[in-house]
Amino acid sequence: MFALADCNNFYASCERLFKPTLIGLPIVVLSNNDGCVIARSNEAKELGIAMGAPYFQIREKLEQNNVAVFSSHYTLYGDLSARVMTNLARFSPDIEVYSIDECFFSLSGFSDLKAYSDKIRSTVIQNTGIPISIGVAPTKVLAKVANKKAKKADGVMVLEGPAEISDALANFPIEDIWGIGRAHATRLLKLGIETADQFRKLPEEWVRREMTVVGARIWNELWGMSCIPLKMVLDPKKNMCTSRAFGKPIEEISELEQAAASYASRLAGKLRREKLCTNVLSVKLLTNRFGDSAAQYFPSLSIPLDYPTSNSVDLVKMAIRGVRRIYRRGYRYQKVEIMATQLIPESEIQMNVFTGHSTKKDKISKALDELNKYYGAGTVRIASEGIKQKWSLRRDFLSPHYTTDWNDIIKVG
């Protein structure tokens, strides 16, 4: 049996956790630069606030309905997600973290799955304060169905027997089936296939022919035949990127260099945490194609490195070099993107006598990691990142770093 634990309205729940006065009140969380709505509490959904709605267009509506607005705070969300996943791991030997707010795990061999799932849910809520829903079923696709049903029930739904599964699929929308996709859902709806139950009653040969092997897997999973196992080992990453829109458009190359240096340094830190090195560093500049009548320009450059590396000094140097080569005056740049490709594990690096690897630079990078881990991210930076970063994200509604900064820890006196 598979279980899927899903945090309810995760971003909104994280913000509400440290402000209990917001319980029962509408909450929305905005994207980078406070651009558009990316998360809503149930109360905000009832007000008709749409996902993806631009903040500037709904500002008055939010104020009139006393909606609490927050800038996205991924450091906080990541930390609370780790706490939820750690608690879930106590209840099963096999666990797959599917996303920041979802986790599959095995319940094979456990008895009284409803009672056990209720215990898991209450323990996670008590230890983390984040509400979750749990769906249990013989396959991962059915567990997804059970989880959606659980959100409208008491937080737990177990689909074990054929009758329970049939009842759950009878009116389950075809577009909500995990893995179907928008294109296939649209086509099936045109054919009169509106529910999951109608879909699984189609001939398997037709599904395999029209929807390939992926559709056939979903079809079999809906019949209770497991075709999608738990992924216990993550696939190795093929690339890694750091990219954020600026708080305001940038025209001067000096500020673009600072941003590129900062993103490259952050990317280097991510590579070291994953114990990976990159062979190619790509730099891309983007102007604002939305709502900007100015001339558009989207240059990019890939720079092969002399040897695989993850140290900050080399990657920052290459990023700045890339910006200087593709920069053109007269454009208002909205974003810089730094991407590492052709990644390999650091244990597999092969050196040669013509391109020596600098252990000194690696020591500098390690020192940066240790200092920033102890004193807080960004405490020590490479000089080319600059001190006053005018290009930083606009985050007017950012909540404190409740769990990751000693200065923001809630004090009780």
CATH number for the domain including 56?
Answer: 3.30.70.270
Q: How many domains does the chain have?
A: 3
Residues 376 and 247 in one domain: yes
CATH number of the domain where residue 247 is located: 3.30.1490.100
In whole angstroms, what is the distance from residue 185 CA to residue 390 CA?
Answer: 45
Q: What is the DSSP string of 369-400?
A: HHHHHHH-TTSS--GGG-SS-TTPPP-TTPPP
Residue 229: inside a domain: no
Find the domain containing 270 and state its range: 239-385
257 and 201, same domain (yes or no): no
CB 48 within 8 A of CB 42: no
Please indicate, yes or no, whether residues 125 and 170 belong to a single structural domain of this protein: no
User: pLDDT digit string (tens) for 98-157?
Assistant: 999 999 999 988 889 999 999 999 999 999 999 999 999 999 999 999 999 999 888 999
Q: Same domain, yes or no, for 22 and 132?
A: yes
Residue type, 413: G
Close Cβ partners of 334 (under 8 Å, ≥ 6 residues apart)? 245, 246, 249, 250, 286, 287, 288, 292
- Whether residue 357 is predicted with pLDDT greater than 60 in this model: the reply is no
Strand, coil or helix: what is 26? coil
Residue 291 inside a domain? The answer is yes
Residue 171 DSSP code: T
Q: How open is the CA angle 397-393-53, to the nearest 5 degrees?
A: 60
Q: Are residues 85 and 181 in the same domain?
A: no
Residue 172: inside a domain, yes or no?
yes
CA distance 6 to 99: 9
Does 294 reside within a domain? Answer: yes
What confidence tier does 347 reach under pLDDT thresholds 50, 70, 90?
confident
Q: Verify that 18 and 75 share a domain, yes or no.
A: yes
If asked whether residues 204 and 64 sit together in one domain, one would say no
Tens digit of each residue's pLDDT (9 = 90 or more) over 258-295: 999 999 999 999 999 888 999 999 999 998 877 655 68
Mean pLDDT value across residues 23-46:
92
Q: How far apart are CA 181 and CA 188, in angstroms?
A: 11
Q: Is the dihedral of CA 218, 222, 226, 228 positive or negative?
A: positive
Q: Are residues 263 and 380 in the same domain?
A: yes
Residue 80 lies in a domain: yes
Asked if the model's pLDDT at residue 186 lies above 90, the reply is yes
Q: Are residues 215 and 297 in the same domain?
A: no
Return mean pLDDT, the chain. 89
State the pairing for strand pair 132-137/156-158.
Answer: parallel
Least Cα distance to 342 among 239, 412, 197, 193 occurs for 239
**Does residue 401 lie within any of the structural domains?**
no
Q: Which residue, 106, 126, 151, sits at the end of a domain?
A: 151
Strand partners, 281: 303, 340
